[in-house]
Amino acid sequence: MIKYNLLCKNCDISYDSWFASSKEFDKLKKKKLINCHRCGSLKVEKNLMAPKLINKSFNDKKDLLKFQKIKKKINEYQKFIKNNFDYVGENFAYEARSIHYNEKKRDKGIYGTASKKDLKELKDEGIDAQLIPWVENENN
């Protein structure tokens, strides 16, 4: 399941909707089966949170350059993490605990996804997990 934030270009509302996959979204869109909750318009698009949209909001060129610099840094950061840490996906909390409690030996650190609740619980148990900025790579 994948959640998209959808934007109606006709009445300008956005809302969240679940799809089985990104392919399913494309298929439904092609068949004109995705329409606006409110006005029924077919001019519904995925509302991308990604840089494309953010760029637009920078009126100042200096801010845009700063943003691009930071984005580059985050990309480098992600590359470093991908090379030096093992991706455990949604098992992050479980894997973090197994390292902490069972002293499970790993050559590398781990990274993955965790909910805010997971992070709080890990912290309460004395397991130090860092929240890191992550941008989706559009080329992926």
Binding site for Zn ion (CB under 5 A): 8, 10-11, 36, 38-39, 41
Report the nearest approach of Zn ion to the CB of residue 14 (Å): 10
The secondary structure element, H or E, covering residue 116 is helix 116-124
Nearer to Zn ion, 15 or 67 (CB): 15
Which amino acid is it at 50? A
Q: Where are the beta strands (DSSP E) in 20-140?
A: 44-46, 85-89, 109-112
Closest CA to 109 of 134, 126, 92, 131: 92
Nearer to Zn ion, 43 or 69 (CB): 43
Pair 86, 108: CB distance under 8 Å: yes
Nearer to Zn ion, 10 or 47 (CB): 10
Report the nearest approach of Zn ion to the CB of residue 32 (Å): 14
Report the nearest approach of Zn ion to the CB of residue 35 (Å): 8
